[in-house]
Structure 1
């Protein structure tokens, strides 16, 4: 299944919601430190409800360690500055969907990391800065999963 990576997430409820997304889709969720909260933060736990035990979540001390663990073949970095849409990709199992923190997004050194295969964006109306992180994750992930016939879903 697909792998979600949050680089330095800062807003606890978004990560809690991502835990629910990961649990409901069977995806792995990888968090790259520094985090703007602790995993025991009440807001993370509340947003994730009872899904924490059903989700595969790993916290990495830095991006290099995450790459070592993931050994990705393809990494798609999501940024509002990309020219290709998230729907322009034929996703493959084990693809990594990489998202940055709100409100700044992925820094340039991550966007240009040698592991990044392509930069993608989710369409929005002109003049809008970004989507909520958990919502953007859902939009991208469900497109990838849809392309694979929602494998494993009931």
Structure 2
């Protein structure tokens, strides 16, 4: 099982680094649609992702059209504050694509209109514009993983005895 996180024109390197770390921990693939607001070689993105970069499958695309072409026009759940249905109202496939827009503007409305039946939102107070991008990815990704019984993930931990 491989979930897919898609970031449409992300702007803040620390957010993308944090999301890459989440992808490493969950086995999700990370798809980045350009233009990016940073270089993947920047210190901030590397620091946010810690030493997990070797565990992340990252794909970059010149634009949204190239992303669709290279992924065989996938069904995409689009996270937006403009949706009527919430992220728990849909059933995610084992290899779902979940897209998030750039921090300052979200996913362009013309893309949302083409996919309005797959738009999802995270409920929040009316006075709040949006949640942090990396927090939003975590919320929706873990719901999709939960719906699929956390397949492929270690779901149980154990305590170890320490001797003083």
What is the Cα deviation at residue 5 of structure 1? 0.5
- Alignment match, 1:134: 134
What is the Cα deviation at residue 126 of structure 1? 2.0
Q: Is the 8 A contact 1:72 1:94 kept in 2?
A: no
SS in 1 for 2:77: strand
- Alignment match, 1:21: 22
Q: What is the Cα-based RMSD across aligned positions, in Å? A: 1.2
- Alignment match, 2:112: 111
- Alignment match, 2:4: 3
The 1-side partners of 2:124 and 2:39 are apart by 31
TM-score for the superposition, normalised by structure 1 = 0.95
Q: Give 1:48-127 correspondences, 5 Å limit.
A: 48-113=49-114, 117-127=117-127
Which residues of structure 2 form unaligned runs of 5+? 155-164
SS in 1 for 2:51: helix
Which residues of structure 1 form unaligned runs of 5+? none
TM-score for the superposition, normalised by structure 2 = 0.89
SS in 2 for 1:85: coil
The 1-side partners of 2:125 and 2:29 are apart by 30
Q: Is the 8 A contact 2:77 2:118 kept in 1?
A: yes
Q: Highest CA radius of gyration, 1 or 2?
A: 2
Could you list the runs of 4 or more consecutive aligned residues of structure 1 that deviate by over 6 angstroms after TM superposition? none
SS in 1 for 2:38: coil
Q: Is the 8 A contact 1:5 1:97 kept in 2?
A: yes
